[in-house]
Amino acid sequence: MKVFPLIITTVIIFLLLVLLVSPFSISSQQIDDFIVVGGGPPSIALYINGEYVGGVALNDVWPNYTMYDGFLWGDKLVVTIPEVNKWVYIFYIPDFSRPAVVLRTPGNVSHFLYYTPEVASLEGRLLWLAAFNTTEKRGYLCPLDLESEVLGDCISVGLYPHAPIRLKGRIYVPLIREPYVVIYREGVVERRLVSARWKPYVNTHDPLRFSYFSFHMITTDGSYIYGEGHAIEPGYILSPITVHAHSYLVAMDLHGNVISYYPTSALPPGLPGLAVCRGRLFATSPLEGSLYVLSTPDLKPLGILRLGKAPWGVFANKDCSRVYVTDILGGAVYVVNVDTLAVERKIETPMVWPHTVIFVDRGVAERLRPAVAPRIVYNFTYFPPILACGDLPPPS
């Protein structure tokens, strides 16, 4: 009779040990520390162990916009207002009362939605920013020295460069509406034409049917480049992107050669958030309220998740076990398990338009803790009404 309880005890101990070593056990899951950068008002929100600690306004940053990008380098937070503003703000954490440095680029700064620091266009202490000036019809790659806080000489690369990344010692930047990917290294600029041949769906005698691709966002897994953009018919030097243009996801090698593609039903703004984790590409579609998931590099569909009102950015945590998706119109962040594709939780944010997620170490999180409060207070600075968009001067 004493043997039976001993067997039960042994089985229980064995099951507990299995749970402890299981990759799905609670004890093995890393709980993330991160900040969310967003608008309404321009601010950051701090989360420790996945729980909201407080937020703080990015004071003296132009307030009347939805999207705010952030890049953390040491004790400096670089903030930009992508697509509509030429200013680069640098804050010394944990002081957010006003920017320590404000720099002006020669054009509107583009996005830099990095999902890991390894993908960021960072060379040592130089952060490469893309900027475009529609009045001059010229775009630039600009080196920002994060240590001396000086903007170096900008390099002309095309009309509308956007969201550069770094891969194997090179800076890659797509050109919106132009079928090129620009590759920059050590003062040398290359433009690689991106084209793909199509199967002859109608005319079997036409084996030369092909199109160009123009990209909006790109990312990488270290071996391939993944782009989101549109098809352009050959012969166009600068293609208009209409409201009916559906987005493609494209996989390329390091020379810009297309190896696979996947047409989506996403309309402009297309798929503004891209991240690669554990052989899977995640892409957000705001107008569809969806998150596309595809295998890499063959781009076979694995699923489409419905998330919030307008999923915008997608960011992978440090061990690539989860991706965090910002719902820019829903005021929330969704956490998705990379392996199971299950939505683990919805995180409410104190700002109206959450845009960027930055994962931080516990030391950085603790340094930010004294600066935040449960309720964000913004020291509003009067700005004149917005009279014109982009680089066009207001009417006299």
DSSP states along 118-142: TTSSEETTEEEEEEEETTTTEEEEE
Which of 148, 195, 138, 143 lies closest to 166, judged by CA?
143
User: With pLDDT > 90 as the criterion, what percentage of the chain qualifies?
Assistant: 66
**147 is written with which tokens?**
């240590």
Domain for residue 227, yes or no? Answer: yes
Q: Is 197 helix (H, G, I), strand (E, B) or coil?
A: strand
In a domain, 113, yes or no: yes
Q: Is 24 domain-assigned?
A: no
For 354-383, what is the mean pLDDT? 88
Of 27-41, 103-117, 157-171, 203-217, where does the model show the most confidence? 157-171
Q: Is the residue at 324 inside a domain? A: yes
Mean pLDDT rounded to a whole number for the chain: 85
Q: Domain range holding 217?
A: 31-371
What does the pLDDT read at residue 246?
84
What is d(CA 142, CA 129) in angstroms, rounded to the nearest whole number? 5
Higher pLDDT, 375 or 29: 375
CATH code, 254: 2.130.10.10
In a domain? residue 171 = yes
Residue 19 falls within a domain, yes or no? no
pLDDT for the residue numbered 213: 85
Whether residue 26 has pLDDT greater than 60: no
Flag whether 356 is in a domain: yes
Query: Is there a domain that residue 14 lies in?
Result: no
Whether cis (ω within 30° of 0) applies to the bond prior to 269 is yes
pLDDT reading at 326 higher than 60 = yes
Residue 208 pLDDT greater than 60, yes or no: no
Q: Report the number of distinct structural domains present in the chain.
A: 1
- Residue 11 has what pLDDT? 47
Under the banding of pLDDT at 50, 70 and 90, the label for residue 392 is very low
Give 390's pLDDT tier (boundaries 50, 70, 90): very low
pLDDT over threshold 60, residue 176? yes
Q: What's the whole-model pTM score?
A: 0.85
- What proportion of the chain, given as a percentage, has pLDDT over 70? 81
- Could you count the other beta carbons within 10 Å of the beta carbon of residue 291? 25
How confident is the model at residue 381, as a pLDDT? 58
